Amino acid sequence: MAESEETGFDQPLLFTVPHRDARGRVVRLGPVLDTVLGAHAYPLVLRNLLAEALVLAALLGALLKDAQGQLTLQVQNGDGVIDLLVCDYRAGELRGYVRHDRARLDELGPNPSLHALFGDGFLAITFDLASSGERYQGIVPLEGDTLAAACESYFFQSEQVPTLIRVAVDCSGANAVAGGLLLQHLPDGEEGRDRLHVRLDHPEWEHMAVMGGSVRREELLDSALSLEALVWRLFHEEREVRVDRGPMLVRGCRCTSEYYRQVLARFGADERREMENEAGAIVIDCAFCSRQFDIVFEV
C-alpha cells in the first residue's frame, strides 16, 4: 500500500486475524484531540485522562456495526475530585468532557492515581444500536491503574470477551497525541454473545495477547508510523491479516440552537418562563464544547 494511502491521524484501522479468531482496532488521535481538549482549560493531568478516554471511545466505537449506533463511556462517582467523565462516539463523531473540583484537584499533586481522582467510582459502557433500538450496557467497578485496564475488566466481566487494550498519551506539547490498540478473541464469531465458557488461557488468545501486548508507547504515538505499518510490525508472521479503515473522526458536539429549542418546546409556557433570565432568554451551556446558547421564545 502506498504511503499516501496509509492511515495516520484521526481514523481507526480495523483488522482481523481469521485463523486466530481475533479482531482488533488501532487509532491515533491528533487534530481532533486538540479540538476536543481546547474547549476547556484543563490542567495536564485531566488533559491526559480525557485523551485516554477519547482513545477508548474511538476504539470501542469502531466495534459498532451499526453505522448510526452510539457508544458512550462514562466514569462517575459522587464524592471524587472528578464526579463525571463522559465520552461518546457516533458515526465518526467524537466528544468528551470532564467535570471536576479544581481546588481539590490541585491538592493532589501532579500525578494522582485513578482512585485519588475518582474514589470508589464505576465505569459504564453503553452501546446504543440505532437500527434496532436495542441498548447494551455494562457497569463495573473502576479498578486498575488506568481507564484502559478498567475497560479490559468490563469486557471480561460484562461481555465475556478476552480483551487486550493498550493506550499511550502525550498532551504535554503544543499538539496533543494519543494512540491505542484494542485486541479481542472471538472464538464464537463476531455475532456470538453467549461466551460463558471464555478462556483466557486459550492458546490462540495467548499467542495474540503476547503479540499485541508487545506494542510500545512510542509506536502508538509515532506520527511517522502508519497504522498499517504498526499492525504489520505486530502480526506480520500471521498467515492472514485483513485490514479496513473506519470513518474519519471529527469533534462531534451536536449542540445547536434549533436542537435546544426543540427540547425546550416540550415544556409548557409557564415552565419555560421560570427558566428565563431577566432578558427573557433561556441560557443553555454546552459542557462538551463550552458554548452558550440564548434561546428566546416568542410571546
**Is residue 295 predicted with pLDDT exceeding 80?**
no
Report the chain's mean pLDDT, rounded to a whole number. Answer: 87
Confidence (pLDDT) at 87: 95
- In which region does residue 86 sit, left (phi positive, over 0), alpha (psi from -120 to 50) or beta (all else)? beta
Give the C-alpha separation, 181 to 230, whole Å.
10
163 plus 290 within the same structural domain: no
**Is residue 215 predicted with pLDDT exceeding 90?**
yes
Confidence of residue 197 (pLDDT cuts 50, 70, 90): very low
279 plus 215 within the same structural domain: no
- Between the CA of residue 175 and those of 37, 58, 172, 210, what are the distances in Å? 10, 19, 8, 31
Confidence of residue 3 (pLDDT cuts 50, 70, 90): very low
Beta bridge partners of 281: none
Confidence (pLDDT) at 111: 87
263 plus 119 within the same structural domain: no
238 plus 269 within the same structural domain: no
Buried b (16+ CB within 10 A) or exposed e, 256-277: eeeebeeeeeeeeeeeeeeeee
Contact partners, residue 246, CB within 8 Å, separation at least 6? 11, 12, 13, 14, 25, 27, 62, 92
**Is residue 53 predicted with pLDDT exceeding 90?**
yes
3 within a domain of the structure (yes/no)? no
151 plus 207 within the same structural domain: yes
240 within a domain of the structure (yes/no)? yes
Over residues 51-78, the mean pLDDT reads 92
Confidence (pLDDT) at 1: 39
Q: Pairing state of beta strands 70-76 and 82-90?
A: antiparallel
Contact partners, residue 197, CB within 8 Å, separation at least 6? none
Confidence (pLDDT) at 6: 87
Q: Residue 211: which of 229, 174, 236, 191 has the closest Cα?
A: 236
Q: How many domains does the chain have?
A: 2
Confidence (pLDDT) at 27: 98
* Cα 118 → chain centroid: 18
Confidence (pLDDT) at 32: 96
DSSP 134-186: -EEEEEEE--SSSHHHHHHHHIIIII---EEEEEEEE-SSSS-EEEEEEEEE-
**Is residue 291 predicted with pLDDT exceeding 80?**
no
286 plus 228 within the same structural domain: no
Look up the domain containing 152 and give its range: 11-251
Over residues 5-14, the mean pLDDT reads 92
187 plus 282 within the same structural domain: no
Give the C-alpha separation, 285 to 291, whole Å.
6
Give me the percent of the chain exceeding a pLDDT of 70.
88
130 plus 278 within the same structural domain: no
- Side-by-side strand order, sheet with 177-185: 163-170, 177-185, 22-29, 13-17, 242-245
269 plus 189 within the same structural domain: no
226 within a domain of the structure (yes/no)? yes
**Exposure of 224 by Cβ count < 10 A (0-12 exposed, 13-18 middle, 19+ buried)?**
exposed
Beta bridge partners of 165: 182
79 within a domain of the structure (yes/no)? yes
20 plus 135 within the same structural domain: yes
**8 A C-beta contact, residue 254 and residue 242:** no
**Is residue 18 predicted with pLDDT exceeding 90?**
yes
**Is residue 101 predicted with pLDDT exceeding 50?**
yes
Cα angle 260, 264, 266; round to 5: 130
pLDDT tens readout for residues 242-273: 999 999 999 977 677 777 777 778 888 888 88
145 plus 79 within the same structural domain: yes
Give the C-alpha separation, 259 to 239, whole Å.
50
Confidence (pLDDT) at 2: 40
Cα angle 84, 86, 89; round to 5: 175
Over residues 129-150, the mean pLDDT reads 89
pLDDT tens readout for residues 145-194: 999 999 999 998 887 889 999 999 999 989 999 999 999 998 665 544 44
CATH of the domain at 18: 3.55.30.10
161 within a domain of the structure (yes/no)? yes
Phi and psi angles of residue 213, each rounded to the nearest 5 degrees, phi first: -70, -10
**pTM summary value:** 0.86
Give the C-alpha separation, 79 to 297, whole Å.
38
**8 A C-beta contact, residue 261 and residue 100:** no
261 plus 211 within the same structural domain: no
4 within a domain of the structure (yes/no)? no
112 within a domain of the structure (yes/no)? yes
Over residues 260-288, the mean pLDDT reads 77
1 within a domain of the structure (yes/no)? no
- Lowest-confidence pick of 30-39, 101-110, 254-263: 254-263
- Lowest-confidence pick of 5-9, 128-132, 225-229, 278-282: 278-282
